[in-house]
Amino acid sequence: MRLTPETLLPASTDTNVTDDVVTAIRHQDIVTAWSGTMAEQRVAVLHMLYPRTDARTHRSLDALVNALHVHGLHQVAELIEQEAHYLVFKDPVKAWKALNEIRHDSLAIGVHLYYKGFSGNEAEVALDRDAHRKA
């Protein structure tokens, strides 16, 4: 799959529209389409959601960064400490590990997964399957 305007601009279903020149998309549509183009390489994208800064958020962020370091995910920890919005993984095992650490070690920071053109539960099932595939 190639990321083209056609993949992001579906034909209109409105019969009153005479030409298809514009459509509304969300950033999730773009990331989902991009992850689909990377499906063969098994690239996972974690979209990090950092709430506005307060003391609880800082404590949660610090605890998460420490937990990631303890589990050997040093580069992930550094990027989260810098509040990177998108983390792109080439290794499904590391992506699965990071996703679960983030979900279990932080109440204030959210994360969405995009994998193989899927998001949400479908992406999690596909990532879990690839991360735990027997070699």
Domains held by the chain: number: 1
**Burial zone of 1 (CB within 10 Å; 0-12 exposed, 13-18 middle, 19+ buried):** middle
Cα separation of 107 and 57, whole Å? 9
Q: Is residue 19 part of a domain?
A: no
pLDDT in tens, 49-90: 987 766 656 677 888 999 999 999 999 999 999 999 999 999
Kindly state the average pLDDT of the residues 124-130.
97
The tokens describing 1, both together, are 């799959």
Mean pLDDT over all residues of the chain? 85
How much is the pLDDT for 26?
A: 86
Q: Is residue 110 part of a domain?
A: yes
Q: What is the pTM of this model?
A: 0.80
Q: Is residue 14 part of a domain?
A: no
Torsion, Cα 82 88 92 98, to 10 degrees, reads 20
How much is the pLDDT for 129?
A: 97
User: How large is the C-alpha radius of gyration of the chain?
Assistant: 17
The strand pair at 44-49 and 110-115 is best described as antiparallel
Q: Is residue 45 part of a domain?
A: yes
Q: Is residue 20 part of a domain?
A: no
Q: Residue 104's domain spans which residues?
A: 29-131
Q: Is residue 119 part of a domain?
A: yes
Q: Is residue 38 part of a domain?
A: yes
Kindly state the average pLDDT of the residues 34-43.
93
pLDDT in tens, 81-103: 999 999 999 999 999 999 999 99
Q: What confidence tier does 4 reach under pLDDT thresholds 50, 70, 90?
A: low
How much is the pLDDT for 1?
A: 45
